[in-house]
Amino acid sequence: MGSQVSNEACASTLKPALSLRVEPETARAFRVEAARRGMQRNELFEEMWKLYKDTQYGAA
C-alpha cells in the first residue's frame, strides 16, 4: 500500500496563483533575472514584494 495524502492536505500546502499581464519584454527580462540569480520566478517576485514593502513602510 502506498502512502496517500488527502486532497484537503494537498490543498492546504498550495499557494494561490497570481496572474499578471505584462509586456513581453518585461516578462522576458524577469525570467532572465530569476535565472541569473538561480531562483524560481515566484521566489524573485516574493523578494521584490518584500523590498517594496520595506521601502514603503520601513523594515520591521
Residues 27 and 31: their CA atoms lie apart, in Å, by 6
Grid cell 495524502 is found at 5
Helix axes 24-37, 41-57, angle to 10 degrees: 100
Grid cell 500546502 is found at 13
pLDDT for 38 equals 98
pLDDT for 11 equals 57
pLDDT for 13 equals 75
Q: What are the sequence ranges of the domains in the chain?
A: 20-57
CB 30 within 8 A of CB 41: yes
pLDDT digits (tens, 9 = 90+) for 10-56: 556 788 998 999 999 999 999 999 999 999 999 999 999 999 999 99
